[in-house]
């Protein structure tokens, strides 16, 4: 006689409705794979009347997610409400306290309260699973937690926000501005009316903080992520990137250094031939550098009802099959305290686009200041417009022109210092653009 | 008090030695992740004296792998001997009969005897795990078996043999012949002295048969794989592929069709912008098309001691953590019988490179025969050499010249029929080259 694993789904938006449909559609396969019958038995949502495309008549309906979380009628509480505080948090805490396993897609909740929730789950002997919280349908949590058990991770980085990648892909392909592409993304439903959370990098930072904790075995530290979004990227940067052999992606990067784990989100130059550079549109990708496998890259859908539901259902199947792994790869007591690394200490290559006054000696002045800060230049591109070249062949007008530098590995502190000196010298017509380069 | 999971490693080549080292190096992390202490307690290998870079003094040494498999002193038998028959098979059978879990990297063994071994493991309630058998360090078995639990798979395809991908990458990058690149691959240790098994596609076929069973829930059917290797690929094909927007990869493809599951291994044209086209050198990649996630691609190392050991240790960690999934995703009794699909019925685009006599009306003759077979041509490229154009401007000499066609979707049967007709018409100076196109 097969046992039944009873699911309570809190939140019946696109993802919740997809989970209900998927569990029903895959009932036979899930039972065969896990040895247990898996069924949605109860749901909660605010509006009972709305048509969600499935028959809810056989399900217990709760108006209150917390009551569902505590109900004797479920074994697994699936939290699809969202938000770091409020009902989502209260309900997850209640479910754990009541001895239920929890599956959540809530990255904000985990980024803020992951360690405390993991400790509570551990104390109760229940699973807290969150595959859907990072990179949507890509099974990256499973890959790191289980697939790379034999590895020490040295770096994990990825395209974790489809909205930003869609915007950057469009800007690059069509030479459009950030603002124009954002408007299209909003029209297509890829971006919210208030896009700040996505385009300024905060969504990526939440996901990165979760990956960092899991990959490096440290307590989650969302406030330790240095965050910079894509709103300042200009079409000229994408053109220059292309010419220099790069693409620009918003990456979340967590990297082991001698002084701690760097966690940073920023627009990034990646080599055009790298796997991650091929990832266009709303697709996500994660690359893990680890001592035994070298480099492992996973590419897939980062959002969408079906893809997110796929990750939720995978977590449910693991629970049904009896998988019991610690939330962040090891017991909470064994997670190391985070040691933050200041961005000033970050070392890497830089793309620096200066807007300088088109005068004799400017390039020399810039190069001198870079050299004084100990920065080696890999390439330098100064290009006057054809018009300027014909009307002002001697470069006497001092019109603003772009001067682009690619540096060899340098610290962020030294780059900032050199730029400040160049600014003091009066060479800059506009604030400089700085984009970090990530080597694969 | 933590329990100890005792490992017996049979076969101490590169992979076996790497597993011994990795289990020791990751002892603390494995215990934290799985709740059990994991230790290599016994080994077997033919030559006890050889230096393998680790201290074997604390380990029980068995000269006979079967005796190790049956020993009371181990809980998990790790088979790294290799080969579909002989000691590897006998020892794995003995381990299962003795109630030991088995971890193996042996694709040939699984391809030939997977269903019988899975049935035996199931009857004994032990795990038969084989992450290392397919795509080396890429956790693709886990991704399909667990990460895509909510999905119905419609196609799985990949670059599963690093030797072939290395050879094709070199041929493309440097315009070299197959023979020259094979020689280099042999010198670098990427190819065996007898390279047939790799370059003629049999290794890929073994791995594909395993993926097919798992992804589609059917009994493994290695003999049902249609196999074609890369030895007939010529530099001109790679040049033409490049011009037409493709790269050539040796793919293993398993695809659901109305009449059954196609399993085929062949050189394949893939769009240059696809993720899989970026995979160069000995790297492997697998793409899964599934109903909920759409497309998921995993890219990583396909071979090497450390990468393969990584997959072996991941399987060991799963066993330590209590994961018990059926070998091929569902109990053996629930696996469907394979329904083979003849290659003649395969439908897809084709690259056809004809070597025709350079005479007036040849292209028209070819096009007519294609039309008669119901095949639509997407593009046609006929290019005479500059020399031929100057010495024989009217095309009267009948010198052999290449004529390349790209077809829209057509069945293999109709393409073969058209080529036979073209051959009967006396238009061909050489046997035609046929390369299938795979759309992403």
Averaged pLDDT score across all residues of chain B: 94
The architecture of the domain spanning B346-438 is 2-Layer Sandwich (3.30)
Structure tokens at B371: 């039309």
Percentage of chain B lying above the pLDDT 90 cut:
88
β-pairing verdict for A294-301 and A283-290: antiparallel
Which residue from A6, A216, A201, A203 is spatially nearest to A110, judged by alpha carbons?
A203
The architecture of the domain spanning A143-301 is 2-Layer Sandwich (3.30)
Which of A217-221, A375-379, B37-41, B388-392 has the lowest average pLDDT?
B388-392
Q: Compute the distance between CA of residue B380 and CA of residue B403 in angstroms, rounded to an integer.
A: 7
Domain A345-438 in CATH 2.40.10.10: no
- Check: CB of residue B116 under 8 Å from CB of residue B220: no
Which class does domain B3-133 fall in? Answer: alpha beta
β-pairing verdict for B347-357 and B433-438: antiparallel
Instruction: Say yes or no for a CB contact (<8 Å) between B299 and A148.
Output: no
- Check residue B1 and give its pLDDT: 45
Q: Compute the distance between CA of residue A187 and CA of residue A165 in angstroms, rounded to an integer.
A: 16
Instruction: Say yes or no for a CB contact (<8 Å) between B330 and A34.
Output: no
Q: Compute the distance between CA of residue B193 and CA of residue B257 in angstroms, rounded to an integer.
A: 38
Backbone dihedral angles phi then psi of residue B388, each to the nearest 5 degrees: -60, -40
Q: Compute the distance between CA of residue B58 and CA of residue B61 in angstroms, rounded to an integer.
A: 9
Q: Compute the distance between CA of residue B319 and CA of residue B324 in angstroms, rounded to an integer.
A: 7
Of B22 and B58, more confident: B22
- Check residue B50 and give its pLDDT: 80
Structure tokens at B369: 């025969």
- Check residue A1 and give its pLDDT: 45
Which residue from A169, A366, A381 is spatially nearest to A280, judged by alpha carbons?
A169
Instruction: Say yes or no for a CB contact (<8 Å) between B310 and A323.
Output: no
Taking contacts as CB-CB distances below 8 angstroms, the residues of chain B near A307 are: 292-294
Q: A433 vs chain B: nearest CA distance in angstroms?
A: 29
Annotated catalytic, A207? Answer: yes
Catalytic member of B89, B100, B107, B207 = B207
Which of A33, A150, A324 lies nearest to residue B149, judging by beta carbons? A33
Q: B231 vs chain A: nearest CA distance in angstroms?
A: 27
Which of A275, A316, A325 lies nearest to residue B321, judging by beta carbons? A325
Catalytic member of A207, A249, A272, A387 = A207
Mapped to the 3 state alphabet, what secondary structure does A266-281 carry? EEEEEECCCHHHHCCC
Taking contacts as CB-CB distances below 8 angstroms, the residues of chain A near B279 are: 275
Chain B interface, mutation test: which of A146, A215, A216, A274, most B Cβ atoms within 10 Å?
A146
Q: B185 vs chain A: nearest CA distance in angstroms?
A: 21
End-to-end CA distance of chain A: 51
Q: pLDDT tens digits for chain A (440 residues)? A: 479 999 999 999 999 999 999 999 999 999 999 999 999 999 999 877 787 777 777 899 999 999 999 999 999 999 999 999 999 999 999 999 999 999 999 999 999 999 999 999 999 999 999 999 999 999 999 999 999 999 999 999 999 999 999 999 999 999 999 999 999 999 998 899 999 999 999 999 999 999 999 999 999 999 999 999 999 999 999 999 999 999 999 999 999 999 999 999 999 999 998 889 999 999 999 999 999 999 999 999 999 999 999 999 999 999 999 999 999 999 999 999 999 999 999 999 999 999 999 888 899 999 999 999 999 999 999 876 666 667 776 666 778 999 999 999 999 999 999 999 999 999 999 999 999 999 98
**Chain A residue with the nearest C-alpha to that of B214:** A33
What are the residues facing B256 on neighbouring strands?
B261
Largest alpha-carbon pair distance within chain B?
89
* Sign of the dihedral defined by the CA atoms of residues A61, A67, A72, A75, in that order: positive
β-pairing verdict for A400-407 and A377-382: antiparallel
DSSP class per residue in A28-85: HHHHHHHSEEEEEEEEE-S-TTS--SS--TTSEEES-HHHHHH-TT-SEEEE-S--SS
Backbone dihedral angles phi then psi of residue B50, each to the nearest 5 degrees: -60, 145
CATH fold of B145-301 reads Dihydrodipicolinate Reductase; domain 2 (3.30.360)
Instruction: Say yes or no for a CB contact (<8 Å) between A330 and B32.
Output: yes
Question: In angstroms, how far is CA B436 from the centroid of its own chain?
Answer: 17
pLDDT digit string (tens) for B281-334? 999 999 999 999 999 999 999 999 999 999 999 999 999 999 999 999 999 999
B331 touches chain A (CB under 8 A): yes
**Chain B residue with the nearest C-alpha to that of A300:** B296
Cβ-Cβ contacts under 8 Å between A and B: the total is: 214
Instruction: Say yes or no for a CB contact (<8 Å) between A34 and B291.
Output: no
Q: Where are the domains of chain A?
A: 3-133, 143-301, 345-438
Instruction: Say yes or no for a CB contact (<8 Å) between A310 and B34.
Output: no
Q: B159 vs chain A: nearest CA distance in angstroms?
A: 14
Question: In angstroms, how far is CA A351 from the centroid of its own chain?
Answer: 22
Does position B352 have pLDDT exceeding 50, yes or no?
Answer: yes
A324 touches chain B (CB under 8 A): yes
- The helix (run of H) or strand (run of E) holding residue A162 is helix A162-174
- Give the burial class of B194: count Cβ atoms within 10 A of its Cβ; 0-12 exposed, 13-18 middle, 19 or more buried: exposed
Chain B interface, mutation test: which of A150, A328, A332, most B Cβ atoms within 10 Å?
A150
Taking contacts as CB-CB distances below 8 angstroms, the residues of chain A near B313 are: 149-150, 292
Which residue from B218, B200, B333 is spatially nearest to B267, judged by alpha carbons?
B200
Cα angle value B351/B355/B360 (rounded, 5°):
110
- The helix (run of H) or strand (run of E) holding residue B174 is helix B162-174
Which of A296, A307, A325 lies nearest to residue B33, judging by beta carbons? A325
Residue A127, CA distances (Å) to A92, A93, A314 in order: 12, 12, 13
β-pairing verdict for B410-411 and A153-159: unpaired
Which residue from A22, A102, A115, A40 is spatially nearest to A66, judged by alpha carbons?
A102
List A residues 201-240 in contact with B (Cβ-Cβ < 8 A).
217
Question: In angstroms, how far is CA B356 from the centroid of its own chain?
Answer: 34
**Chain B residue with the nearest C-alpha to that of A274:** B278
Instruction: Say yes or no for a CB contact (<8 Å) between B151 and A278.
Output: no
Instruction: Say yes or no for a CB contact (<8 Å) between A293 and B278.
Output: no
A373 touches chain B (CB under 8 A): no
- Are A143-301 and A345-438 in the same CATH fold? no
CB within 8 Å of B226: residues ≥ 6 apart = B262, B263, B264, B265, B266, B343
Backbone dihedral angles phi then psi of residue B425, each to the nearest 5 degrees: -70, -5
B101 touches chain A (CB under 8 A): no
DSSP class per residue in B84-146: SSTHHHHHHHHHHHTT-EEEE--HHHHHHHHHHHHHHHHHHT--EE-GGGSSTTS-HHHIIII
CB within 8 Å of B353: residues ≥ 6 apart = B236, B237, B240, B402, B403, B404, B405, B432, B433, B435
Scan for tokens 């289980």, then name that residue. Answer: A146
């Amino acid at each position: 006689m097969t046992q039944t694993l009873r699911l309570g789904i809190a939140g019946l938006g696109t993802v919740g409705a997809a989970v209900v449909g998927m569990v029903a559609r895959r009932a036979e396969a899930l039972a065969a794979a896990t040895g247990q019958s898996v069924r949605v038995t109860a749901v909660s949502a605010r509006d009972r009347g709305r048509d969600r495309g499935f028959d809810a008549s056989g399900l217990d309906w709760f108006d209150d997610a917390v009551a569902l979380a505590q109900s004797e009628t479920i074994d697994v509480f699936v939290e699809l409400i969202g938000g770091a505080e409020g009902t989502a948090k209260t309900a997850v805490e209640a479910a754990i306290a009541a001895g239920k396993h929890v599956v959540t897609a809530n990255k904000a909740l985990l980024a803020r309260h992951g360690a405390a929730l993991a400790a509570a789950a551990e104390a109760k002997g229940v699973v807290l699973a969150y595959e859907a919280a990072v990179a949507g349908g890509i099974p990256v949590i499973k890959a790191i937690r289980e697939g790379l058990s034999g590895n020490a991770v040295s770096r994990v980085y990825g395209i974790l926000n489809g909205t930003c990648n869609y915007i950057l892909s469009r800007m690059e392909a069509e030479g459009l501005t950030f603002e124009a592409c954002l408007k299209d993304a909003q029209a297509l439903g890829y971006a919210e009316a208030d896009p700040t959370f996505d385009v300024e990098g905060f969504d990526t930072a939440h996901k990165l903080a979760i990956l960092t904790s899991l990959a490096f075995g440290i307590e989650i530290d969302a406030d330790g992520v240095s965050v910079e979004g894509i709103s300042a990227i200009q079409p000229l940067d994408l053109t220059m990137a292309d010419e220099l052999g790069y693409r620009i992606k918003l990456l979340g990067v967590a990297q082991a250094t001698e002084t701690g784990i760097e966690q940073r989100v920023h627009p990034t130059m990646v080599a055009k031939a790298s796997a991650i550079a091929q990832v266009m549109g709303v697709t996500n990708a994660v690359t893990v550098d680890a001592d035994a496998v070298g480099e492992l890259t996973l590419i897939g859908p980062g959002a969408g009802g079906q893809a997110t539901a796929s990750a939720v259902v995978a977590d449910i199947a693991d629970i049904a099959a009896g998988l019991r792994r610690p939330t962040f790869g090891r017991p909470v007591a064994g997670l190391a305290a985070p040691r933050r690394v200041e961005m000033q200490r970050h070392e890497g290559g830089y793309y620096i686009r200066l807007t300088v006054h088109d005068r004799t000696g400017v390039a020399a002045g810039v190069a001198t200041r870079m050299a004084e800060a100990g920065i080696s230049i890999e390439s330098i591109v100064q290009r006057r417009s054809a018009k300027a070249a014909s009307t002002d062949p001697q470069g006497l007008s001092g019109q603003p022109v772009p001067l682009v530098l690619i540096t060899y590995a340098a610290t962020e502190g030294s780059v900032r210092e050199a730029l400040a000196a160049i600014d003091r010298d009066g060479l800059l017509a506009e604030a400089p653009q700085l984009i970090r380069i990530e080597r694969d």
